């Protein structure tokens, strides 16, 4: 399975041209700290929550979540806790 981003160490880059269908609900096996690098209009939605602006948050393991596409590329730092 091809991932919808390019990864360099703990930095992921999502291209603005990505098809929104690639941004699927998923969950991870460990807690993660996710932080947007720079300002962005991309959003993140956790299970049973409304979408919110992507800045900095901890996503607990086994929590379903997805990204909602913005109008430019997205760069995020992802650290497994």
Q: Which two tokens stand for residue 70?
A: 């913005």
Domain spans of the chain? Answer: 6-80
Which residues neighbour 37 within 8 Å (Cβ) at sequence distance 6 or greater?
11, 75, 76, 77
Q: Is 57 helix (H, G, I), strand (E, B) or coil?
A: strand
pLDDT digits (tens, 9 = 90+) for 12-60: 999 999 999 999 999 999 999 999 999 999 999 999 999 999 999 999 9
- Return phi, psi of residue 44, to 5°: -125, 145
Using alpha carbons only, what angle is made at residue 81 by residues 66 and 33, rounded to the nearest 5 degrees? 40
Single pTM value for the model: 0.90
Domain 6-80 class, CATH top level: mainly beta
């Amino acid at each position: 399975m091809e991932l919808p981003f390019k990864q360099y160490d703990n930095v992921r880059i999502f291209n603005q041209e990505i098809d929104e269908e690639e941004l699927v609900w998923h969950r991870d096996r460990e807690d993660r700290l996710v932080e947007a690098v720079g300002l962005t209009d991309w959003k993140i939605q956790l299970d049973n929550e409304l979408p919110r602006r992507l800045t900095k948050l901890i996503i607990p393991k086994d929590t379903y979540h997805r990204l909602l596409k913005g109008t430019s590329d997205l760069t995020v730092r992802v650290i497994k806790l």
